[in-house]
């Protein structure tokens, strides 16, 4: 007999109707699978991603028609056969109030590429990430890669300072059952911030009031959970 443990995902939302007072609303969702970890680079499975991408943003998003649209990157272009440049969105805040910068993007890409991250496959062919200026990120590839932006839609951006403060500069070794600060805590730029994570019991997310995105639109992942 199969024994299925249900994990409750609780999203605490604020009503977006305007004008008028704001009323708190709670959405509860039952899931047969726990996200396993809050480290966004530790694993790359659906039940993990559908929670992680409410908390963390990527450089590139997809819209309702599944077409690429700006995320934390406003625009991108191939400047040579093996170089892509991304103009990053300014004024974005992490959940702890700190600013998202090009340095954070470079750090996040390097973290995702380095073992034991399980998201390195998304960056296959990327040789290096580097900062051009305060608003520009450059990715250099081993060979021409016309679809590089497609690979960045599921690449979470983290705070370099937060990771250094908590000793999580490298992704959790999930297969080695490593316990790190990033397993039960998070600090993203996404539409929701992590309030509490109790493995195999519940995950509580609250709306990030300072999210840069459209408050009237739930991310696609929220509808899929």
pLDDT at 5 over 70: no
Q: Which two tokens stand for residue 198?
A: 């109790």
pLDDT band at residue 12 using 50, 70 and 90 as cut-offs = low
Give CB contacts under 8 A, 24+ apart, made by 141-148: 141/82, 141/83, 141/84, 142/82, 143/82, 144/81, 144/82, 145/82, 145/84, 146/78, 148/78, 148/84
What are the tens digits of pLDDT across the range 44-72?
999 999 999 999 999 999 999 999 999 99
Task: Report whether pLDDT(121) > 70.
Answer: yes
- Residue 147 CB coordination number (10 Å): 7
| Res. 4 pLDDT band, cuts 50 70 90 | very low
Please state which of the ranges 6-15, 47-56, 84-93, 164-173 shows the lowest mean pLDDT.
6-15
Which domains does the chain possess? Answer: 7-224 (3.40.190.10)
pLDDT at 3: 37
Is the distance from CB of 88 to CB of 105 less than 8 angstroms? yes
For 24, residues 6+ apart whose C-beta sits below 8 A from its C-beta are 12, 13, 14, 15
Q: For 177-211, what is each residue's pLDDT tens digit?
A: 999 999 999 999 999 999 999 999 999 999 999 99
| 140: β partners | 83, 128
Strands 24-31 and 7-14: antiparallel
């Amino acid at each position: 007999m199969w024994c299925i443990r249900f994990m409750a995902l609780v999203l605490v939302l604020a009503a977006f109707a305007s004008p008028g007072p704001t009323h708190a609303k709670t959405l509860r969702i039952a899931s047969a699978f726990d996200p396993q970890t809050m480290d966004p680079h530790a694993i790359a499975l659906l039940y993990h991603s559908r929670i992680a991408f409410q908390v963390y943003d990527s450089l590139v998003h997809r819209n309702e028609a599944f077409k690429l649209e700006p995320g934390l990157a406003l625009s991108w272009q191939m400047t040579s056969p093996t170089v892509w440049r991304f103009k990053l969105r300014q004024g974005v805040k992490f959940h702890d109030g700190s600013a998202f910068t090009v340095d954070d993007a470079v750090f996040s890409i390097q973290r995702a590429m380095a073992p034991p991250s399980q998201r390195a496959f998304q960056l296959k062919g990327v040789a290096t990430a580097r900062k051009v200026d305060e608003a520009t990120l450059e990715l250099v590839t081993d060979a021409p890669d016309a679809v590089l932006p497609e690979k960045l839609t599921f690449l979470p951006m983290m705070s370099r300072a937060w990771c250094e403060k908590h000793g999580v500069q490298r992704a959790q070794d999930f297969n080695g059952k490593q316990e790190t600060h990033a397993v039960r805590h998070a600090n993203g730029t996404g539409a929701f911030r992590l309030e509490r994570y109790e493995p195999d019991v519940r995950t509580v997310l609250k709306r990030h009031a300072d999210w840069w995105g459209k408050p009237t639109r739930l991310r696609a992942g929220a509808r899929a959970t």
